[in-house]
Homo-oligomer: A and B are copies of this chain.
Amino acid sequence: MKSVRVFAPASIANLGCGFDIMGLALDEVGDVLDMSISEGDGLSITNESGVPLPDDIEKNVITPVVRKFLELTGNKAQVNVVIKQKIYPGSGIGSSSASSAAAAFGMNELYGSPLSEEEVVVCAMEGENLASGGYHADNAAPAVMGGIVLIRGYEPLDIIKLPVPGDFYCAVVHPQLVVSTKEARSILPKNVPMHDAITQWGNVGGLVAGLYSGNIGLVGRAMKDAIAEPYRKGFIPGFDDLREKILSKGSLAMNIAGSGPSVFALANKRDIAHKAGDIFDEHFSSLGIDHQVYVVKVSNRGARLIAY
């Protein structure tokens, strides 16, 4: 029997303009799995995280990830997974991706890294497909690779790790509003106005340029979403007022995290991010909506082995 303990970080997808193609990894927050392989052919998943998850392993994102890894590498084994730590599902900071990335990375470690980092992402995307009905990599790629990641294209998968200039901090609020990823996707139009699409790709170019050139002001100006936000912000009470407050206190940008309902603010100073966290807290408290706030550094580290 061989065993590993793996961690994969929480992540935030879309980053405003980068709908479906960009995401970043967060420090500290994430999932921890103990994984082992032994002779045989089967999979067991035990949940020791304290976070309620379905008992049926067919409903756990780890299952298709493990199967994809075994299929790609032509291996067969009894795989045992113990979930030690879990981000709450639906928190909008890549809960399913953290599990998927940890499982894919862990399998690759157990077998001596036969897969490239990109192939590990491909395995992790199987979990995303189970969770949301689509092969997205905008959370899975940063959860595997760390940092800020661009998915240049899906056919074939082309993942670019972008530089993280200096220190970035995210304040994230997870309000207890029930919005499934599927629902958040289904309200989006199938077609978008050309004018808005052009605005969006101008901003994507600007965001990438800002990250490479270390132009923080440009990063902030570019992190705007002309496509999904107009539809999705309706799920989040007081969204526009909240952003006005957040930006007035120095954050670079505020956007919906992934498909929501979580919202994040990006700042280049820790104290500004904490201020944003306080504003998030006040906002949802005043509305009587339960919520959690995280203030976390953007991390260049993705999935990794950790000590038992």
Chain A 131-161 interface 0/1 with B at a Cβ cutoff of 8 Å (1 = within): 0000000000000000000111110001010
Q: Specify which of B17, B189, B209 is in contact with A201 (CB 8 Å cutoff).
A: B17
Q: Specify which of B160, B202, B222 is in contact with A206 (CB 8 Å cutoff).
A: B160
Q: Specify which of B20, B189, B194 is in contact with A190 (CB 8 Å cutoff).
A: B194
Contact call A153/B18, Cβ cutoff below 8 A: no
CA gap between A9 and B190 in the complex, in Å:
40
Q: Does A199 contact B (CB under 8 A)?
A: yes
Q: Specify which of B19, B188, B205 is in contact with A21 (CB 8 Å cutoff).
A: B205
Q: Does A121 contact B (CB under 8 A)?
A: no
Interface size class of A (residues with CB under 8 A): 35 or more
Chain A 145-188 interface 0/1 with B at a Cβ cutoff of 8 Å (1 = within): 00000111110001010100000000000000000000000001
Q: Does A246 contact B (CB under 8 A)?
A: no
Residues of chain B within 8 A of A154, CB atoms compared: 202
Q: Does A235 contact B (CB under 8 A)?
A: no
Residues of chain B within 8 A of A53, CB atoms compared: none
Q: A74 to chain B: closest CB distance in Å?
A: 29
Residues of chain B within 8 A of A111, CB atoms compared: none
Q: A222 to chain B: closest CB distance in Å?
A: 6
A162 nearest CB neighbor, chain B only: B209
Given known contacts A152-B221, A197-B197, A227-B197, A205 and B22 CB-to-CB distance under 8 angstroms:
yes
Q: A138 to chain B: closest CB distance in Å?
A: 10
CA gap between A201 and B14 in the complex, in Å:
12
Contact call B198/A20, Cβ cutoff below 8 A: yes
CA gap between A152 and B222 in the complex, in Å:
7
Q: Does A213 contact B (CB under 8 A)?
A: yes
Residues of chain B within 8 A of A208, CB atoms compared: 204-205, 208-209, 212
Q: Does A216 contact B (CB under 8 A)?
A: no
Tell me the chain A residues, 61-85 only, with Cβ under 8 Å from chain B: none
Q: Specify which of B150, B193, B198, B213 is in contact with A205 (CB 8 Å cutoff).
A: B150
Residues of chain B within 8 A of A207, CB atoms compared: 205
Q: Does A191 contact B (CB under 8 A)?
A: yes
A17 nearest CB neighbor, chain B only: B201
Q: A205 to chain B: closest CB distance in Å?
A: 5
Q: A218 to chain B: closest CB distance in Å?
A: 7
Residues of chain B within 8 A of A150, CB atoms compared: 202, 205-206, 209
Residues of chain B within 8 A of A203, CB atoms compared: 152-153
The 3 closest A-B pairs by CB, nearest first: A152-B206, A212-B212, A201-B201
